[in-house]
Amino acid sequence: MKNKVTKIGVLTSGGDSPGMNACVRAVVRTGLYNNIEMFGIMRGYTGMVEDDIVKLESRSVANIIQRGGTVLKTSRSKEFLTPEGRKKAYGNLKKHGINGLVIIGGDGSFRGAQIFSSEFDIPCIGLPGTIDKDIAGTDFTIGFDTAVNTAVEAIDKIRDTAEAHDRLFIIEVMGRDAGYIALHSGIATGAENILIPEKKTDIENIIGQLAEKERRHKLVNLIVVAEGEEFGGADEVAKYIKGRLPLLEVRVCILGHIQRGGAPSCMDRLLASRMGYHAIECLIDGRHNVFVGVVNNKINYIPLDEAIKKKQKVSEEWLKIVKILAT
Ligand code: ADP
């Protein structure tokens, strides 16, 4: 039997991503449209444990669709990892009468939601908000497109200076476990090599290519490296290459946190708005413990466990394209 949801809490949790605000706006406004009372839970699960919960109206989410970051703030909560912390969180939700939750975050936040909903009678709906696009069951995650575009803009600029000096640049982008930002930004900028955690790096092949370029005095070469690839990031790759080709001028550029910030792209705003709307529809329809994904441009509801158990795989098609286009 369906339990009618009357009060819904929304939170942003774990690593932030551009588009989280657009998503909060969509969740809140769709909820209010359906005569549901809406609450913002501040700083992710921390606000749930500490009762930092505020009532939200339509105006509370005005003028945020274009802003990066998250107005609800985010955090990582150690207390929520414990049964006592989650019990406290449940007590606080009950106090406000909240009987449905929307969690915008990555796979860690989904894991928290899954455990919480197995312990207590609060249906949870996840929305994938992460720049890494590392969640299985959805083609895109909120923030990925913006992060890639930020990386592309930066790498294009680096190519200008690399061309001017005929230099080798090693550029590190985010992605501790997933190479999607490196893969997409590397392909889009015509990088000569892309190093990602999902694929073993053939460093001897790269050294061979560079030695040949050195011989021809044609050294413009961009290597895009995901921070979690096997060498341990751009500095380590540079050190290794320098060790093997000591005469080579190598420059390293680590893009870092600029990839998390900035105004969300149109695509991320649309994705966030669409997913936010569907999260409320899910709760009204009595669904629980699923996350909203998009596959082949269609909305899918995927059990939270699947996002936790599986990682999104890098497609062989892209890897082949990289190999062909970079030669
Ligand atoms: P992300 O959602 O970006 O992957 P984290 O992995 O840091 O970020 O997870 C965000 C939060 O989710 C954690 O700080 C913690 O409060 C909660 N969480 C993660 N894993 C669990 C778990 N196994 N049990 C309970 N809560 C969890």
Annotated domain spans of the chain: 7-143+264-307, 145-260
Helices 180-188/144-165 angle, 10° precision: 50
**What pLDDT score was predicted for residue 1?**
43
Ligand 1 center to residue 78 CA distance, Å?
Answer: 8
**Model confidence at 182: pLDDT above 80:** yes
Among protein residues, the one with the nearest Cα to ligand 1's atom 18 is: 112
The token pair that represents 101 in the structure block: 């939750």
What value does the mean pLDDT take over residues 113-127?
Answer: 96
Can you tell me which atom of ligand 1 is nearest the CA of 110?
A: 2
Give DSSP secondary structure letters for 132-174. T--BTT-S--BTHHHHHHHHHHHHHHHHHHHHHHT-EEEEEES
Can you tell me which atom of ligand 1 is nearest the CA of 105?
A: 2
**Ligand 1 binding pocket includes 105 (Cβ within 6 Å):** yes
Among protein residues, the one with the nearest Cα to ligand 1's atom 16 is: 77
**Ligand 1 binding pocket includes 13 (Cβ within 6 Å):** yes
In the chain, the largest separation of any two C-alpha atoms, in whole Å, equals 73
pLDDT interval class at 103 (50, 70, 90): very high
Ligand 1 center to residue 261 CA distance, Å?
Answer: 21
**Fold of the CATH domain 145-260:** Rossmann fold (3.40.50)
How far apart (Å, rounded) are the C-alpha atoms in residues 102 and 93? 13
**What digits encode the pLDDT tens for the residues 56-75?**
999 999 999 999 999 999 99
How far apart (Å, rounded) are the C-alpha atoms in residues 87 and 104? 21
CB-based contacts of 236, cutoff 8 Å, min separation 6: none
Per the CB < 8 A criterion, the answer to whether 251 and 170 are in contact is yes
**Ligand 1 binding pocket includes 81 (Cβ within 6 Å):** yes
Ligand 1 center to residue 199 CA distance, Å?
Answer: 26
Whole-number Cα distances in Å, 32 to 29, 52, 58, 96, 236: 5, 21, 7, 17, 51
**Ligand 1 binding pocket includes 180 (Cβ within 6 Å):** no
User: Is residue 145 flagged as an active site residue?
Assistant: no
Give DSSP secondary structure letters for 275-312. HHHHHHHHHHTT--SEEEEEETTEEEEEEHHHHHH-BP
**Model confidence at 323: pLDDT above 90:** no
**Ligand 1 binding pocket includes 79 (Cβ within 6 Å):** no
- What is the CATH code of the structural domain delimited by 7-143+264-307? 3.40.50.450
**What pLDDT score was predicted for residue 87?**
98
Give DSSP secondary structure letters for 29-68. HHHHHTT-EEEEETTTHHHHHHT-EEEE-GGGGTT-TT-S
Same fold, 7-143+264-307 and 145-260: yes
**Ligand 1 binding pocket includes 134 (Cβ within 6 Å):** no
**What digits encode the pLDDT tens for the residues 210-246?**
999 888 877 788 999 999 999 999 999 999 999 999 9
pLDDT interval class at 27 (50, 70, 90): very high
**What pLDDT score was predicted for residue 3?**
65
pTM summary value: 0.95
Can you tell me which atom of ligand 1 is nearest the CA of 80?
A: 16
pLDDT interval class at 154 (50, 70, 90): very high
Ligand 1 center to residue 112 CA distance, Å?
Answer: 5
Phi, psi (degrees; rounded to nearest 5) at 54: -125, 145
What value does the mean pLDDT take over residues 135-151?
Answer: 96
Per the CB < 8 A criterion, the answer to whether 94 and 58 are in contact is no
Please identify which of the residues 16, 51, 52, 132 carries the catalytic annotation: 132
How far apart (Å, rounded) are the C-alpha atoms in residues 10 and 42? 9
